[in-house]
Amino acid sequence: MLDEKGISKAVIARLPRYYRYLGELIDNKVERISSNELSDLMKVTASQIRQDLNNFGGFGQQGYGYNVRYLYSEIGRILGLDQTHNMIIIGAGHLGQALANYVKFEKRGFRIIGIFDIDPNLKGHTVREVKIQMLSELPDFLKNHKVDMATLTIPKNSAREVADMLVANGVKAIWNFAHIDLNLVLPKDVIVENVHLSESLMCLSYNLTHARREHKDC
């Protein structure tokens, strides 16, 4: 097993897509696939597939291709999906509840162990058997539970303060839906994945406004 360092983020960003297609191939009872066949399916070059995978070691076999189940599980392992991640959600609005209700996360090892909000009206309500707690209870909660990642579905203006508090209490990974680049304001060793939905919508708007012959997504 190679040491997986210095791998470009472009490669990492493609792994989940490989993983998804391989999962579908398993559902379709496909046992093996060549880089060329996968290339046809996913509309990327076979060269890129082989290069990407070889960043992590040789998962294929000359003359045969790749065993679908094996490659699927290896990519899952690389992505850390073989481990259980305890997750909390801060912000129990529609977006927070949408994420909490997404059954598949649980299957991938993302276990929601707490949901927090500031709205007293939500107190005691339950989302997928997890009770909504008040944000004020969060510091205590963090001291008594192992929390691997926190999802922030709260407004921009409170995001930084909450993030600082999370970090002060040892949280090392944040899935951030607030419109602020938390990675720029938090310590470097805290991992931040920003999801800026409005920026995605603006890309769509750009492409619609400048509609060309052949459209490339952005």
Nearer to its own copies, 17 or 137 (CB): 17
Beta carbon of residue 51, minimum distance to DNA (angstroms, whole number): 4
Long-range CB pairs of 70-79 (<8 Å, 24+ gap) are: 71/18, 71/22, 72/19, 72/22, 72/23, 72/25, 72/26, 75/15, 75/18, 75/19, 75/22, 76/19, 78/4, 78/15, 79/15, 79/16, 79/19
C-beta separation of 217 from 207 below 8 A: yes
Binding pattern to its own copies, positions 107-146, x when CB under 8 A?
-xxx------------------------------------
C-beta separation of 34 from 66 below 8 A: yes
Amino acid at 24: E
C-beta separation of 190 from 172 below 8 A: yes
- Residue 114's beta-bridge partner residues? 88
Interacting span for its own copies (CB under 8 A) from 10-18, 30-38, 47-55, 135-143: 10-18
Q: Is 188 in the site for its own copies (CB under 8 A)?
A: yes
Q: Is 56 in the site for its own copies (CB under 8 A)?
A: no
**Chosen from DNA, its own copies, none, partner binding at 168 (C-beta under 5 to 8 Å by type):** none
Interacting span for its own copies (CB under 8 A) from 27-35, 99-107, 111-119, 135-143: 99-107
Nearer to DNA, 63 or 187 (CB): 63
Give the span between the Cα atoms of 65 and 132, in whole angstroms: 48
Beta carbon of residue 50, minimum distance to DNA (angstroms, whole number): 4
Secondary structure (3-state) at 145 = coil
What residue ranges bind DNA (CB under 7 A)? 8-11, 33-36, 44-48, 50-51, 53-54, 58-66
Beta carbon of residue 7, minimum distance to DNA (angstroms, whole number): 9
Residue 216 is encoded by which pair of tokens?
């490339």
Beta carbon of residue 6, minimum distance to DNA (angstroms, whole number): 9
